[in-house]
Chains A and B, each alone.
Chain A
Amino acid sequence: MPLDLKLAPAKFGTFRRIRRVWRSRKALKGVTQWVIDWGVPMAVGAGLLYFYAARSASPSRVYKTFALIDPPHGALLWTASLIGWLLVPAIIGGFAGHVIATRISSAKSISTETLFRQRKLGQRIRPPGLIDDLRRYFHGPVAQQYFVDMWVRVAHRNDWDRAQDHWEVFIRDMVSTQQYAHLDRHECLRQAQGTARLALAVTARVGQCIVCERRR
């Protein structure tokens, strides 16, 4: 077991930063995650279809085919027509139905975490948080230094990359549970990371990591 904690690396690569951002999206509400995971790619696909169809026919012709005003001619316009009458109503209807149903059902259900609290505009529009970068813990308060010493040095033998990866995986899976479903995105991350630091420090003291164990 290494006696000392190795210095934190100066920076993680771009891929690792993007990976951390991507994994942090799991702290968002289910609807927001769906928009990111499926809504944006479908909108991009529909946009590309519109762009290439508009090059062969006129933009207004493509729009009228989407809206079922004109019959389709050609493969691209047939695809646009199918999307217009089959997928768009189903997706929009399903999405709107879920949002409305969730709002209605939550009207008589308040989380104990939000009791008597005030959520101000600044909190509502604040950008989502990210899973913590463990390198900041190296110079952080005693609690953070203690955790990173156990997690990086003892459980992962001074392998900062692997320790950061497994920390992110653990947090991602924690925030994906019902335990944190009713919390706002910032509180969800805060509580999940706090609990993770307590739980993972216990296992790190015996030189173990649940992610290493499951991936063996």
Chain B
Amino acid sequence: MTVRSEDAVEIVRASLALAFPGASVDALARAAEHLLRWGAEGAAEHITPELSERMLEDLMFLSDFQPGEYRPAEPERRRPQAAPYRTWSRPDQAEDEYPFRRRPPDPDDGTTRRRDPGGPQPSAG
């Protein structure tokens, strides 16, 4: 069945299907709708690796995708810890209590942020 991409949801859904293979079409469409809303809210302006991790978890939740099946391109890289807040609206049916912040905290606001060095970790041997 051919679906006309008059709606941006279809484009984003097709893109998310690459990251979450096996997720159902409806679940991916739900995640795509949320992503479009977050893009309109300006969430992309303040995205950091930690916030990206939080958004990835939200998208996996919306897509009914099992986190254990996620296959990053760089498995040797340590993934940053997901930010304990969001700069976008809470996903539907999410039951966590992460607060909303308009932007990530500044480095000198008293909030301790440990920099994640990232990169491949040296082997023990």
Seen from chain B, the residues whose Cβ lies within 8 Å of a Cβ on chain A are: 5-9, 11-12, 14-16, 18-19, 32, 35-36, 38-40, 42-49, 52, 55-56, 59, 70-74, 119-120
Contacts and interface: CB of A to CB of B under 8 A. Distances in A.
A200 B55 CA distance: 13
Nearest to B40: A191
Contacts of B14: 210
Nearest to B46: A143
B74 A195 contact: no
28 contacts: A1-B73, A1-B74, A143-B46, A146-B47, A147-B44, A155-B73, A177-B8, A177-B11, A178-B6, A178-B7, A191-B40, A195-B12, A195-B38, A195-B44, A198-B43, A198-B55, A199-B39, A202-B56, A203-B19, A204-B73, A205-B73, A206-B19, A206-B71, A206-B72, A207-B73, A208-B19, A210-B11, A210-B18
A50 B14 CA distance: 49
Interface of A: 1, 3, 113, 141-143, 146-147, 154-155, 170, 173-174, 177-180, 191-208, 210, 213
A90 B59 CA distance: 50
A179 B43 CA distance: 18
B43 A194 contact: yes
B52 A146 contact: yes
Given A146-B52, A191-B39, A207-B73, A197 B8 contact: no
Contacts of B71: 206
A203 B7 contact: no
A192 B35 CA distance: 11
Contact of A146 (B8, B48, B59, B74): B48
Nearest to A112: B40
A142 B48 contact: yes
A194 B74 contact: no
A164 B43 CA distance: 22
Given A177-B5, A202-B59, A195 B40 contact: yes
A143 B48 contact: yes
Contacts of B32: 199
Top 7 nearest A-B pairs (CB, nearest first) are A195-B39, A207-B73, A179-B8, A194-B44, A208-B18, A194-B39, A197-B44
Contacts of A177: 5-8, 11
Contact of A199 (B6, B16, B119): B16
A194 B56 contact: no
Nearest to B15: A210
B86 to A, nearest CB: 13
A115 to B, nearest CB: 14
B16 A203 contact: yes
A126 to B, nearest CB: 19
Contacts of A180: 8
A189 to B, nearest CB: 12
A195 B8 contact: yes
A194 B40 contact: yes
A147 B47 contact: yes
